[in-house]
Amino acid sequence: MGQALHIAKCDLQVPANNGAHCTAAISTEQLVVRRGQPFSIALHFAAEVHNYLQQLKRVSLVVQTDDSVFLTNEAQRQECVLNQDGSIYWGTESTIQVQPWDFSQVSQTLGSAPRQRTGVSHIAHGTGRSLGWTAERRDGTPPTQWLGSAPILRQWAAEQCQPVQYGQCWVFAAVACSVLRCLGIPTRVVTSFTWAHDTGGQLSVDEYYSENGDKVAYNGKASIWSFHTWNECWMARPDLSPGYDGWQVLDATPQEKSGGPSSCGPAPVRAIRDGILELDPDIAPLFAALNAEHHVWVQRPDRRFQRAASGGRYLGNSISTKAMSCDRCQDLTHLYKFPEGSPQAREVLERVHKKTSKLEGARSRETDPSTLLPAEDLALLLFVCIQSKSSVLLGQDIQLAVTVANRSGGERAVYLVLGGQTFQYDGTPIAQLWKEELQFTLRDNEGKDGSICVRAAQLQPLPYEKTLADVDTLSVHFAQEEISICKPQLAIKLPPSVMQYQPTTAEISLQNPLPEPLEQCVLSVTGRGLIYRERTYRCDTVQPSSSLHMHIPFTPTQAGTKRLTVHLSCTQIQDIKGYRSVNIVAAQPTA
């Protein structure tokens, strides 16, 4: 009887397989393949087989898996699984700004540590305990200074999975996106502007102002954030009733729950739009955050708060993500909510209001009713309006136009308070910049126009607010204009194309817009396939009206379209970011 034929060696054909599976950047030595895609191996036997081959039985092993995260659209797969150059949107609804981000999901940082990849929730949860915007972060990296996920994950792995300091919502979402894309789960980063935070599922958010127009703290934890960022993941949901496969919300930012920090989701986007609260416990807070109504209360001389007859708005606007195959911003608002005022929107809101009416009643019982007064039905009697640019460049003055009109049918005495406040992205006021108080009388159908120039020396990112009281009737009106103070832009010059392994240079410049020098300037440059990890340069002081000029040499090591990202901070201006893409032509093999 012949001896068994043994396999002497198994060739996993790593270069060919990893190249076909788009995982060569993860490893050139270990086999890394994707679900549902065939790969080849070569078996080498311990002895020659010769004519015994005709006696062998050919066996094909085919494993067919039902992939619950397979996305049929090839362009979306390229964007939401393989694209490593991301754009995250933040700022305000009227001035949406872009933050470049390097996800690095197809890299050794994520691909070589499967055990550590599974603990990404620990990163989000642990870092969430360090959340804060105003504290000095001398023992960590401020959230605004991160440019990509790889440095965060490298630090987390090097420090034995200890929390990385510090993060905010877009950092949590970006790191989660990197890990999920590395695992082959289609994921994108989504931002909503005017986000109702910590509403407890209630469909209203109240803000309180003193009679002088200063924002003040009052009962309740709910607040309005300028923006909030989360993830969408594509997956089937066999655990739910039919119709809820597709994009799911996954919010990696730690939620304020009684049991400690906790993430939110996955929750179907369609269920959020349709207000199907009973489908999943996470849908109610997400629906409220995107559909709550904003009310303004102003304190009267008797210390009670009266609801302003104007100033309210619906929240959850301009829901944005990076578009496929380009750096354009794509609006997703229609996927999360029906058009405001449409029959579908009214039907959904009415149905959800009925379900949440008990919660609303409980909330009203927790607030002392003697301190709150309803709005007078005088919204159309006095008209107040602020007009200004939605954004100005740092160093420029702000021009404001204010209009007050009387449509009450009689003469009215008016007390007008004008003021500007700086505030954090989560709505917390920082400081009152200036305030003016005016008293005047308006005859019926009379209007009063005025203009105000706010000097650049007074400015930080701020909302401009105006509180108007009709002294005769104690009707309170409120208007607010949010103005973004934009930082100067970095100019980055690169050749349109560069040959792989050939040295080249990037030219970076910035003009100082301030009447004072820019001191202690630090420039950081990064680019996967262009520069190893990150380079840091200390620059000379930049005098007023002068420009900073830097030449950054580098040698690209990877072919394809690559992104160079630049970060500049100085004593006077923090976190100026810019990026530029360049085409790297593959080097031809030598003969």
The residues assigned a catalytic role are 169, 228, 251
Backbone torsions φ then ψ of 187, nearest 5 degrees: -145, 145
> Strand 317-322 vs strand 372-373: parallel, antiparallel, or unpaired?
unpaired
- CB contact burial 170-203 (16+ within 10 A = b; e otherwise): bbbbbbbbbbbbbbbbbbbbbbbbbbbbbbebbb
Hey, which residues does 553 pair with through a beta bridge?
A: 505
What gap in Å lies between CA 18 and CA 39, rounded to an integer?
9
Hey, which residues does 246 pair with through a beta bridge?
A: 235
Token pair of 502 as six digits: 């050939």
Q: Residues 371, 357: contact at Cβ < 8 Å?
A: no
Hey, which residues does 122 pair with through a beta bridge?
A: none
What gap in Å lies between CA 71 and CA 67, rounded to an integer?
9
What gap in Å lies between CA 467 and CA 310, rounded to an integer?
10
Q: Which residues, 6+ apart, have CB-to-CB distance to 326 below 8 Å?
A: none
What gap in Å lies between CA 336 and CA 321, rounded to an integer?
13
Task: Give CA separation, 317 vs 82, 94, 374, 426, 449, in Å.
Answer: 28, 10, 27, 16, 30
SS3 sequence, 536-582? Answer: EEEECCECCCCEEEEEEEECCCCCEEEEEEEEEECCCCCCEEEEEEE
- Amino acid symbol at 479: A
Token pair of 174 as six digits: 């970006």
Residue 27 burial (C-beta neighbours within 10 Å; 0-12, 13-18, 19+)? middle
